[in-house]
């Protein structure tokens, strides 16, 4: 998704931009950290753009949160600042004479991959500005460097999903496009409260270390549902897919990564006719994802969820990529 907006033969007026979109995890959050498979969908309706331009002086960032030299940026911008510094380093460019502007709307801290998307757009935008191609592995490594600052060590699922153009299966660093027989329509509903991925990941690690209450069995259970979900998507069996989502929400609750607001939205979605619903992303805040019976009923479901307390709702469809290319 790299787009060069305009290039002048004059170094001083170089300008280039790149975009990235949000992602939503359908199955496998947390269990993916322990080598289980995960399924994620691109959310093309939520995207952001990073524009890089030449401006003499220190490296600067311009965003809704802060505009100024990255050396003085608040700690909240540590991940984008890392993406800028690491990309310049990878391209053997001096850390000067560059301004990176971020425009766009992926709500932060909601499990929708905003930090990975920002890092993806920044690194691709700077590479385009420098007139260089970023190979897939380098792009991934740069996103992961920023993700380490945002969330601590990350599985790499988000970094892969924000650049995918079709549903993906991710396992232990490997990614592949998932076949989807019949488009499935989902509603993402936001509790309005930021999630706590880092804390939730640490809590699961602690449970596993103590091996209390069959935690390994819960991880295995999520992995089994994820594998079943792949088959459901390939066969177009949405009722079965929905039941698996609701079962996985229960398993994630047992892992202590849900909370009252997430549970309430899941219950509302099921009460309003969703085929299944679960939290998505790191949990303890952020969003749920619910499977609508049909594309037509998704609008209604989104409206009802907003009435019963969701701060926002978005509709996303899982379908094979239109151009048939791999993720």
* Residues at the interface with ligand MEV (CB under 6 A): 25, 29-30, 32-33, 111, 154-155, 157-158, 197, 201, 281-282
Residue pair 118/143 in contact by the 8 Å Cβ criterion: no
Between residues 15 and 154, which has the closer beta carbon with respect to ligand MEV? 154
> Rounded CA gap, 126 and 96, in Å?
12
> Rounded CA gap, 121 and 169, in Å?
22
Least Cβ distance, residue 17 to ligand MEV (angstroms) = 25
H or E stretch covering 128: helix 114-129
Between residues 32 and 305, which has the closer beta carbon with respect to ligand MEV? 32
- What SS3 state is found at 137? helix
Between residues 32 and 130, which has the closer beta carbon with respect to ligand MEV? 32
Handedness of CA 76, 77, 80, 86 (dihedral sign): negative
User: Which tokens is 4 given?
Assistant: 């060069």
Least Cβ distance, residue 117 to ligand MEV (angstroms) = 12
Least Cβ distance, residue 25 to ligand MEV (angstroms) = 6
Between residues 15 and 32, which has the closer beta carbon with respect to ligand MEV? 32
H or E stretch covering 188: strand 184-190
Least Cβ distance, residue 81 to ligand MEV (angstroms) = 21
The full length of the chain comes to 327
Residue pair 226/38 in contact by the 8 Å Cβ criterion: yes
DSSP assigned state of 134: P
- What SS3 state is found at 253? helix
Write the Ramachandran bin of 147: left for phi over 0, alpha for psi from -120 to 50, otherwise beta. Answer: alpha
Residue nearest to ligand MEV (CB): 155
Single out the residue of 126, 131, 71 nearest to residue 98, CA to CA. 126
Least Cβ distance, residue 54 to ligand MEV (angstroms) = 34
Least Cβ distance, residue 113 to ligand MEV (angstroms) = 7
What are the backbone angles phi and psi of residue 146, rounded to the nearest 5°?
A: -70, -40
Between residues 32 and 59, which has the closer beta carbon with respect to ligand MEV? 32
Between residues 158 and 272, which has the closer beta carbon with respect to ligand MEV? 158
Between residues 268 and 280, which has the closer beta carbon with respect to ligand MEV? 280
């Amino acid at each position: 998704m790299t787009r060069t907006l305009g290039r002048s033969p004059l170094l001083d007026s170089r300008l280039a931009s790149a975009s990235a979109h949000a992602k939503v995890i359908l199955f496998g959050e947390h269990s993916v950290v322990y080598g289980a498979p995960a399924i994620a969908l691109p959310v093309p309706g939520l995207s952001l753009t990073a524009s890089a331009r030449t401006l003499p002086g220190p490296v600067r960032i311009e965003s809704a949160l802060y505009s100024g030299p990255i050396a003085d940026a608040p700690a909240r911008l540590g991940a984008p600042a890392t993406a800028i510094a690491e990309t310049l380093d990878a391209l053997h460019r001096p850390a000067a004479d560059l301004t990176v502007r971020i425009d766009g709307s992926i709500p932060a801290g909601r499990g929708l991959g905003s930090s990975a998307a920002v890092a993806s757009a920044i690194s691709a935008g700077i590479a385009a500005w420098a007139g260089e191609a970023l190979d897939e592995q380098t792009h991934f490594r740069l996103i992961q460097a920023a993700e380490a600052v945002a969330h601590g060590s990350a599985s790499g699922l988000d970094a892969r999903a924000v650049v995918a153009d079709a549903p993906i299966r991710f396992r232990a660093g490997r990614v592949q496009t998932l076949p989807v027989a019949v488009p499935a329509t989902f509603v993402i509903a936001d509790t309005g409260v930021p999630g706590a991925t880092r804390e939730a990941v640490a809590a699961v690690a602690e449970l596993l270390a103590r091996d209390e209450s069959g935690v390994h069995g819960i991880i295995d259970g999520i992995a089994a549902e994820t594998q079943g979900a792949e088959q459901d998507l390939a066969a177009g069996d949405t009722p079965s897919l929905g039941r698996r989502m609701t079962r996985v929400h229960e398993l994630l609750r047992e892992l202590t990564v849900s909370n009252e607001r997430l549970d309430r939205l899941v219950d509302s979605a099921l009460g309003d006719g969703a085929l299944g619903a679960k939290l998505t992303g790191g949990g303890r805040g952020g969003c749920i994802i619910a499977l609508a019976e049909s594309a037509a009923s998704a609008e209604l479901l989104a409206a009802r969820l907003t009435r019963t307390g969701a701060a926002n709702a978005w509709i996303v469809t899982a379908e094979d990529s239109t151009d048939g290319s791999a993720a």
